[in-house]
Amino acid sequence: MSKYRKLLAASVLGACVAVPAYADKFGLGRPALPEEIAAWDLDVAPDGTGLPEGSGDVFTGEEVFAEYCAICHGDFAEGVDNWPKLAGGEGTLADKDPLKTVGSYWPYLSTVWDYVNRSMPFGNAQSLEPDEVYAIVAYILYSNDIVDDEFTLSHENFLDVEMPNAEGFIVDDRNTAEAHFWTSEPCMVDCKESVEITMRAAVLDVTPEEVEAEDAGQNPAAEQASTAVEAGTEETTALDPEMIEHGKNVFKKCKSCHQVGEGAKHRTGPALNGIVGADAGAIEGFKYSKAMKAAAEKGLVWTDEEMAAFLARPKAYMKGTRMSFAGLKKQDDIDAVIVYLKSFGS
């Protein structure tokens, strides 16, 4: 018998003896104790059944999320490398490549709470206290613009939270709706006059590798700046190619949330084409925080000076901003990022 067949036989035997019906016959195992069952019986139902008492607010959740979750899911729940994105994807479910996140796809908040409580953090599951789980879930909701920054989630208001895709699922009624497929007499001969191929299967990668415009070298403004340097024009002051390159490297810290260049899309943060010199909170198609909306109403314009102040200490500059990034410490980095952003329009 080959090694493969031996392993297969052992696997089948192991599966068979694991079935309770064989326990007495082979003398293996014992009935689970009540406390052992309780340790695994942790599920939380959509109606809140199973939720423990407790609460957690968004700001506490941000701290706990940063400590336990951000290494895989990013500071803003935007995902790191191939780890799942938990935020974003609003309005993408009809796209060829939908982004399925807690905000765009999950219909029940109980699923979020149950999964975090049961399986997270990775490698140390079920180590979180209920209050920590409530706080993490509150922060995930906030990252998806479902609640505001002053929100506190608890067992008392849990069912008050409305998930955006709550109506996006239907009850599986195939047992009745498709009953005619297996209750009627099947056709066995000459069931169709002709057979033709009407479509072909396609492999759809729902998490494609994104190639951003600047990575592909498509930065017309930067190329114009380079041309201006060669020509010795005054544009070198505003769009110094070395500054642009420096800013591009620094901007890597921002790319998990912001895109720039041709085809740039909103992520956790808005696309930043033309941001320098623009009115705050004015980019179409992005849902801004209350703090940013208030600043916009007061007439904030992203001049070089205002942008520099924001990049240095975002939270100190604008209390209530959803941007958790601590800020850039070096003035040279700040100046370079601003020049880099200018290269995409101003």
Q: What is the CATH number of the domain that holds 252?
A: 1.10.760.10
pLDDT above 60 (res 320): yes
DSSP annotation of 252: G
Structure tokens at 238: 């505003």
77: left (phi over 0), alpha (psi -120 to 50) or beta: left
Q: List the one residue out of 102, 82, 75 whose CA is nearest residue 257.
A: 75
Say if residue 330 is in the same domain as residue 235: yes
Among the candidates 160, 188, 210, a domain finishes at 160
Say if residue 21 is in the same domain as residue 106: no
DSSP H stretches of helix in 261-330: 290-297, 304-312, 314-317
Say if residue 27 is in the same domain as residue 69: no
Say if residue 239 is in the same domain as residue 156: no
**What is the C-alpha separation between 255 and 264, in angstroms, rounded?**
11
Torsion angle of alpha carbons 246, 247, 252, 255, nearest 10°?
Answer: -160
Q: Give 58-104 pLDDT, tens digit per residue.
A: 999 999 999 999 989 988 898 888 889 999 998 899 998 899 999 99
Q: Note whether residue 179 is domain-resident.
A: no
Say if residue 64 is in the same domain as residue 15: no
Q: Give 224-243 pLDDT, tens digit per residue.
A: 444 433 433 334 345 788 88
Structure tokens at 35: 């406390």
Say if residue 21 is in the same domain as residue 59: no
Place of tokens 């990668």: 205
**What is the C-alpha separation between 148 and 141, in angstroms, rounded?**
9
Q: Note whether residue 38 is domain-resident.
A: no
Q: Note whether residue 20 is domain-resident.
A: yes
How many domains, the chain?
3
Say if residue 115 is in the same domain as residue 25: no
Among the candidates 144, 160, 176, a domain finishes at 160
Q: Note whether residue 89 is domain-resident.
A: yes
Say if residue 227 is in the same domain as residue 336: yes
Q: List the one residue out of 307, 318, 299 whose CA is nearest residue 342.
A: 307
Q: Note whether residue 120 is domain-resident.
A: yes
Say if residue 68 is in the same domain as residue 141: yes
**What is the C-alpha separation between 273 and 51, in angstroms, rounded?**
44
Q: Note whether residue 132 is domain-resident.
A: yes
Q: Give 299-314 pLDDT, tens digit per residue.
A: 999 999 999 999 988 8
Find how far residue 117's CA is from the centre of its chain: 18
Q: Which of 6-20, 58-72, 183-197 has the highest mean pLDDT?
A: 58-72
Q: Give 152-183 pLDDT, tens digit per residue.
A: 999 999 999 999 999 999 888 988 888 888 78
Q: Note whether residue 263 is domain-resident.
A: yes
Say if residue 21 is in the same domain as residue 95: no
* CB 91, CB 104: distance < 8 Å: yes
* CB 164, CB 104: distance < 8 Å: yes
327: left (phi over 0), alpha (psi -120 to 50) or beta: left
Mean pLDDT of 98-125: 94
- Position 211 confidence tier, pLDDT thresholds 50, 70, 90: very low
- Structural domain that includes position 309: 220-342
- Position 115 confidence tier, pLDDT thresholds 50, 70, 90: very high
Alpha-carbon distances of 306 from 18, 274, 295, rounded to whole Å: 66, 15, 12
* CB 257, CB 70: distance < 8 Å: no
Q: List the one residue out of 1, 33, 86, 63 whose CA is nearest residue 256.
A: 86
Q: Note whether residue 210 is domain-resident.
A: no
Say if residue 94 is in the same domain as residue 13: no
Say if residue 256 is in the same domain as residue 319: yes
Among the candidates 160, 189, 208, a domain finishes at 160
